[in-house]
Amino acid sequence: MTAENDREPVATTPPNFIAEIIDDDLASAKNGARLQTRFPPEPNGFLHVGHAKSICLNFTLASRAAFGLCNLRLDDTNPVAEDDVFVKSIQEDVRWLGFDWDDRLYFASDYFERIYAAAVTLVTKGLAYVDSQTTEEIRENRGNFYKVGVESPYRNRSVEENLELLERMRSGAVKEGEAVLRAKIDMAHQNMNMRDPLLYRIRHAEHHRTGNTWCIYPMYDFAHPLSDAFEGVTHSICTLEFEDHRVLSDWFIENVGGFTPVPRQIEFARLNLTYTVLSKRKLQQLVNEHHVLGWDDPRMPTIAGMRRRGYLPESLRAFAERIGVARRDSMVDVALLEHQLREDLNAHANRTMALVKPLRVVIENFPEDAQEEFEVPVHPEYPERGSRRVTLTREIFIEEDDYLEDPPKKWFRLTPGQEVRLRSACFLRCERAVRDENGKLIELRCTWDPASKGGSTTDGRKVKGTLHWLSKKDAVAAQIRLYDRLFTEEDPEGQENKSFLDFINPNSLEEVTGWVHRDLAQSPAGTRVQFERLGYFCVDVESTPERPVLNRTIGLRDSWSKIAGKD
């Protein structure tokens, strides 16, 4: 009988308090049988792994009702920062994760006329006014946590004057920075968001969808809840930084009026991941200052970067479910995501042999023009996937790290006079090493045992070391990119008097010329394989049959845990 303390831990799904709220609302028929969520990113950058959590959450929550829906809406209210490149990348990322919004792709810009009409409604009700203070004066007069705000001298303009000024702002007759539209709420409110927040500002910039039709644009806090209401969203799921904005969103919905259902805002903790930065502003800084090679650099925590590196969508979905939904911020160990990825890749990725640091080996007793072919399983756990063929010739290549001239004890790889097994092929004995005049290792001279074809002998002789290898006939030179974590510090944003840039890992990318099997050179971008004994790799988008490019997704073991003393 297994002792209590020796039992395997049972994986459980963390409780989801948002799902419980939604289930209660459905049970009470609060919105009838309707359930509608949305995923509403701003198209001002690529999505990252934190967004992946939100995507999974919103789309899976919608499935809790028989006819639940989840919209994809891009909140494009800032023409200065937005671009169609980001719009396309967002759609690609959501689809790659396995979710579909059907025909419900919306933009906040779809509602610009309706949002403007809502602003006119507030002005007409005496609940909004055009403020002609400077940006600095508005900021100063808002006060702070210890000091109440000061009312604008323009706060009591008449409804007629405000409507005229607002129309002048819309027509382009007012210069940028000369006026804004503000809600008239309470300059002494304890919640700073309620101190006459801005509704519209002037931006003489071309919008990626509406062009130059508009020169005033709604603020995010104004456009976002109204867009939810226009779409009939029942549950507006957002991260904790919007908790203090909820009262303002409710104020807009109530005072514009006429909405059924009224969206219910529920906040959850955003994802914080060790050794990772998930601030879109800081990710953009990494791109703009060329610390990385773009938004889809495989070192970036963007969904596009993770896809290019070889991550699986099911790994991100499983990770999102595994960490659950919390009410308070916390830090998640990136090793949990990496563990999930290894588990999934182990089943998904077929095996092949490749060499990161190839070392030439000449088998002296193997005939010059001869060759031996061996069938090797594509995946040892899934025989139905078939096999691949490898060719043994007189000249082969092994990993340079698999040879030591003066090895330590319990060294089971190649050294002069020691015998090893070439994976699925034969036994090989090292006779001597050949070096140049500077002492650099050039090649090994070895012999093989013809009676050991297939990797075993009839005399029962055993060897402890097994090496991966490639013959000269099968090998194709490839650019291999060895990626590691982008930051050396567990919390790169939380170090006093330090910038997150101070912790960029100088060894996050090493590019080497290695050898891969010729079959892999023909594989399309996105093909994921396990290089036996080396790790998981993915064919890059820049790869061609003439010049294969492979990205290391992750090693077979967590070397970082060992370095940190976690094992």
Total residues found in the chain within this entry: 567
Q: What are 482's two structure tokens? A: 């060895």
Nearest to 128 by CA among 245, 203, 191, 222: 222
Q: What are 384's two structure tokens? A: 């139905």
Distance from C-alpha of 219 to C-alpha of 198, rounded to nearest angstrom: 7
Nearest to 537 by CA among 379, 310, 304, 297: 310
Distance from C-alpha of 533 to C-alpha of 466, rounded to nearest angstrom: 10
Q: What are 451's two structure tokens? A: 């009676």
Distance from C-alpha of 133 to C-alpha of 444, rounded to nearest angstrom: 80
In 146-245, which ranges are continuous DSSP H helix? 159-171, 220-231
Pairing relation of β-strands 466-467 and 395-399? unpaired
Query: Do residues 358 and 480 touch, judged by C-beta distance below 8 A?
Result: no
Cis link prior to 261 (omega < 30° from 0)?
A: yes
Query: Do residues 51 and 59 touch, judged by C-beta distance below 8 A?
Result: no
Residue 387 bridge partners (DSSP):
377
Known catalytic residues are 42, 270, 280
Query: Do residues 430 and 390 touch, judged by C-beta distance below 8 A?
Result: no
Query: Do residues 36 and 70 touch, judged by C-beta distance below 8 A?
Result: yes
Query: Do residues 200 and 217 touch, judged by C-beta distance below 8 A?
Result: yes
Distance from C-alpha of 157 to C-alpha of 126, rounded to nearest angstrom: 9
